[in-house]
Amino acid sequence: MFLPKKRDALVEALAATPPAVQGRSPWADARLRFRRNKAALASLIILVLVTLACIVGPWVLPHSYDSADWDAMSLGPTLLNWHFFGTDEAGRDLLVRCLIGGRISLMVGILATLASVTLGIAWGATAGFLGGKVDAFMMRVVDMMYAIPYLLIAILMVTMLGRDFHLVVLTITVFSWMDMARVVRGQTLSLRSKEFVEAARAIGVPTWRIIFSHIVPNLLGIVVIYATVTVPGVILTESVLSFLGLGIQEPMTSWGVLIEDGTKAMEVSPWMLLFPGALLSITLYCFNYVGDGLRDALDPKDR
């Protein structure tokens, strides 16, 4: 007698039940946390704008990075003839040279970081997973690399091989992968005893496949954070090498070359130091803020 009423009440209760909330993946949660970090998001937007300006700007502006305007040598910032950043002592447009220099500096930073991160992941994951004598030998190689004077080797490489874009990337890569290797090794030591690794071993999965299919994907969070922090360090290293005359060769330029030129003429033409120095500082500052935002978004202890 009361069954129909109870059934109707149950149907109404089920209809009134709110739908289940769909869960978010860890990467979706990390994206949401990053978007909530206003400083990191603003820094990412600035980096994108700077990168787009360096890529597109030289094609849009009427000047070439190596063409001289003999009627406008050492001209200050002006709207005359599109010299918004002024010109250098040879009459070359400083805005175009800053954009070309930014393109070179960013390319060096990204390419050298990708190469060093790849080498560091392979070295550190292999050493940490295999352990024992292999681990001890591989990490002693890292220690020996730390002991090599960086600038001395850079000077020798430039002296023997000449100044070249690819040589600069190679030189920075050779001396920038050790930190990544140590970080990855430490994380691998904590992952190799996990259940999913033991299960892969039990079913006979090859060692190399366990490393690159099971260990490395679980390190992507720390790798992304470290790569973001490494890029500004690499850009700064390239700037130092170029400032010392060991980097990019004229007429090609980079922010380090422009800063070196600006220091020579800072008393007469301060804008030659101000603009490339400001672009370099803003870029490094934004990269550091993006790295901090990624660390906060991807760090599981901070959730």
Q: How far apart are CA 33 and CA 298, in angstroms?
A: 9
pLDDT tens profile 202-249: 888 888 888 888 888 888 888 888 888 888 888 888 888 888 777 787
Say if residues 242 and 260 touch (Cβ distance below 8 Å).
yes
- Predicted pLDDT of residue 125: 92
Burial of 277 (0-12, 13-18, 19+ CB in 10 A): middle
Q: Residue 300's pLDDT band (boundaries 50, 70, 90)?
A: low
Looking at the chain, list the stretches that DSSP marks H as alpha helix, in order from N- to C-terminal side.
Answer: 3-16, 26-36, 38-60, 94-130, 132-147, 150-161, 165-174, 178-191, 195-202, 207-210, 220-243, 255-264, 271-298
Q: How far apart are CA 274 and CA 186, in angstroms?
A: 42
Report helix, strand or coil for 261.
Answer: helix
Residue type, 102: G
- Tokens 């990191």: give the residue: 40
CATH architecture of 29-302: Orthogonal Bundle (1.10)
Say if residues 291 and 275 touch (Cβ distance below 8 Å).
no
Q: Residue 2's pLDDT band (boundaries 50, 70, 90)?
A: very low
- Tokens 């001395």: give the residue: 152
- Predicted pLDDT of residue 112: 92
Q: Which of 296, 144, 295, 302 is nearest to 230 (CA)?
A: 295
Q: Is the peptide bond before 77 cis (omega within 30 degrees of 0)?
A: no
* 68-72 average pLDDT score: 81
DSSP code, position 299: -
- Predicted pLDDT of residue 1: 47
Q: Which two tokens stand for residue 229?
A: 């922090």
Q: Residue 302's pLDDT band (boundaries 50, 70, 90)?
A: low
Calculate what percentage of the chain has a pLDDT beyond 70.
89
87 strand-pairing partners: 93
The region of weakest confidence among 35-39, 104-108, 159-163, 212-216 is 159-163
Q: How far apart are CA 164 and CA 154, in angstroms?
A: 12
Say if residues 234 and 113 touch (Cβ distance below 8 Å).
yes
Q: How far apart are the first and last CA of the chain?
A: 53
- The total number of residues shown for the chain amounts to 303
Q: Would you list the domain boundaries of the chain?
A: 29-302
Cα dihedral across residues 245, 247, 250, 253: positive or negative:
negative
- Predicted pLDDT of residue 196: 85
The region of weakest confidence among 22-26, 116-120, 217-221, 273-277 is 22-26
- Tokens 């490395």: give the residue: 216
- Predicted pLDDT of residue 9: 60
Please enumerate in sequence order all residues whose Cβ is within 8 A of that of 138, keeping only pairs 6 or more positions apart, or say none. 123, 126, 127
Hey, how many other C-beta atoms are within 10 angstroms of the C-beta on 129?
Answer: 22
Q: How far is CA 231 from the centre of its chain?
A: 3
pLDDT tens profile 131-154: 889 999 999 999 998 888 877 777
Q: Which of 96, 1, 113 is nearest to 54 (CA)?
A: 96
- Predicted pLDDT of residue 287: 92
- Predicted pLDDT of residue 181: 92
